[in-house]
Amino acid sequence: MNSEKNIKEEIKSDDSLFDFETPETGQQLKGRIVQKDENGLILSVGLKNDAWLPANQLGENLSSVKVGDSLKVEIIKIGKDKIIVSRKKILEKKSMEMIQDSFTNKKPLSGEIERVVLNKNKQQVGMMVNLKGRFLFMPRSLYEKNPPRNLDVLIGRNIKFVVKELKQNDAIVSRIDYLEEKRSKNFLQFTSQNPIGSTINTKVKKFLMQKNRPFAMILNSNNGVNLFLHRSEATWGEGNLKDSFKEGQELEVKIIKIDQEKMQIETSYNMTKENPWHSPELEKENWLNVTMGNRTKVGLFVSLQNGIQGFVHETEMPQQFNKKRGDQAKARIIKIDKENQRLSLSLISKEESRKPKGETFGDKIEGGQTLSDLLKDFE
């Protein structure tokens, strides 16, 4: 009898079989795509016969590969005239290693949301995420704090996540845990580089509202860390924040408080500027550029360019006053209290305010006469 070694040598020398080695089920090969159609791929794998990779064994969409690409595959069946291989099996093994690593070391993974999962009442309870051919379940509550009402809008979206629970060959994944882990790392990195007292560049992300009025702003740093800026540290008066700041506006602020436990950072815009109440412009009878603010029963609030807010009493407003919120105008300082940071202004000149109102603004009565003209008849 021929020895096992001699049999293998005879097989290798037989031109009707394979050139380099005898393939075995489970063996991994590297192949190059030489042909592609809707049913699958033909790969050159260094053997006498090419290998056939069915579309359902690719592990991803056929559109993601093209002729000439190299793929690592595993032999799943050996026929008389062809070898059938799978890339899906290799990807599944690799994905399981990635899942184990993510669960142990909180390493982020990336996958595409494949479909929405319904319960017996046909309610959307989560999604299946495709990780290299392995489908993992993500409950809707672990996508984000306020997920879309209709999860179908997320299908096809590529997201990052970490493994939250591991059960044999199955896992539950979480995008929220990934975002929190990322936020924590970014926060620690940011605060280590920017301690209290640091001055940094930020952008206004959004206004925080209370009773339809902004009381603070959320700022965004260059690395994505959010910061808090209260109105008292953003303006030098009681003005409306939206009169002085806009979303997307760049701001230089100083860090004044860091709460490591809550991951909160408080900032001050005022501390990066000189106190405008010390400005030489703030002198009685000076004229200043102002922006119209909120109207009240007895007057109007206005904002100065330096952030200070002043008040114009109704008696210091022209009779036919038609300015709207946000409009620009000139105002005269009539009273100033720098110690208590209070400012009273007038929208009419000192001379005009002393004249009779009918004459001051040329109010015409019948026949083109002013009120002053008519009063002469009673002298």
What is the average per-residue pLDDT within 177-197? Answer: 93
Residue 168 has pLDDT above 60, yes or no: yes
The predicted-structure confidence for 279-296, as pLDDT tens digits, reads as follows 888 888 889 898 888 888
What is the average per-residue pLDDT within 252-258? Answer: 96
Residue 343 has pLDDT above 80, yes or no: yes
Higher pLDDT, 368 or 233: 233
Q: Could you give the C-alpha distances from 199 to 103, 191, 255, in angstroms and in order?
A: 38, 12, 6
Fold of 104-179: OB fold (Dihydrolipoamide Acetyltransferase, E2P) (2.40.50)
pLDDT band at 374 (very low <50, low <70, confident <90, very high): very low
Higher pLDDT, 20 or 49: 49
The residue count for the chain: 379
Higher pLDDT, 63 or 307: 63
Higher pLDDT, 359 or 300: 300
Closest among 112, 233, 226 to 173, alpha carbons compared = 112
318, two tokens: 């022209």
What is the average per-residue pLDDT within 225-251? Answer: 87
Radius of gyration of the chain (CA): 37
What is the average per-residue pLDDT within 341-355? Answer: 80
What's the pLDDT score for residue 94? 85
Q: By mean pLDDT, which of 45-59, 184-198, 252-266 is the weakest?
A: 45-59
Sketch the domain layout of the chain as residue ranges.
27-86, 104-179, 194-272, 276-353
What's the pLDDT score for residue 373? 54
**Domain 276-353: which CATH number of 2.40.50.140, 3.90.76.10, 3.30.450.20, 3.40.50.720:** 2.40.50.140
The predicted-structure confidence for 39-69, as pLDDT tens digits, reads as follows 999 999 888 888 999 999 988 788 889 999 9
Phi (first) and psi of residue 285, to 5 degrees: 80, -5
Question: Considering the chain, what percentage of its residues have pLDDT values greater than 90?
Answer: 49
3-state SS record for 183-223: HHHHHHHHHHHCCCCCEEEEEEEEEEEECCEEEEEEEECCC
Query: 162-174 in b/e burial notation, b at 16+ Cβ within 10 A?
Result: bbbeeeeeebbbb
What's the pLDDT score for residue 158? 96
Q: Do 194-272 and 104-179 have the same topology in CATH? A: yes
Q: How much is the mean pLDDT over the chain? A: 84
What is the average per-residue pLDDT within 166-170? Answer: 79
294, two tokens: 């909120």
CA 84 – CA 156 distance, rounded (Å): 30
CA 37 – CA 287 distance, rounded (Å): 79
pLDDT band at 359 (very low <50, low <70, confident <90, very high): very low
Contact 285, 336 (CB under 8 A): no
Residue 345 has pLDDT above 60, yes or no: yes
pLDDT band at 238 (very low <50, low <70, confident <90, very high): low
Higher pLDDT, 10 or 369: 369
Contact 159, 109 (CB under 8 A): no
What is the average per-residue pLDDT within 85-103? Answer: 88
What is the average per-residue pLDDT within 96-101? Answer: 90
Query: 182-198 in b/e burial notation, b at 16+ Cβ within 10 A?
Result: eeeebbeebbeebeeee
Q: Does domain 194-272 have CATH number 3.30.2010.30?
A: no
CA dihedral sign, ordered 277, 281, 287, 291 = negative
What's the pLDDT score for residue 275? 81
pLDDT band at 138 (very low <50, low <70, confident <90, very high): very high
Fold of 27-86: OB fold (Dihydrolipoamide Acetyltransferase, E2P) (2.40.50)
Residue 200 Cα to chain centre, angstroms: 19
What is the average per-residue pLDDT within 230-253? Answer: 86
Q: CA dihedral defined by 322, 325, 330, 331, rounded to 10 degrees?
A: 100
Higher pLDDT, 140 or 355: 140
pLDDT band at 126 (very low <50, low <70, confident <90, very high): very high
What's the pLDDT score for residue 18? 42
pLDDT band at 239 (very low <50, low <70, confident <90, very high): low
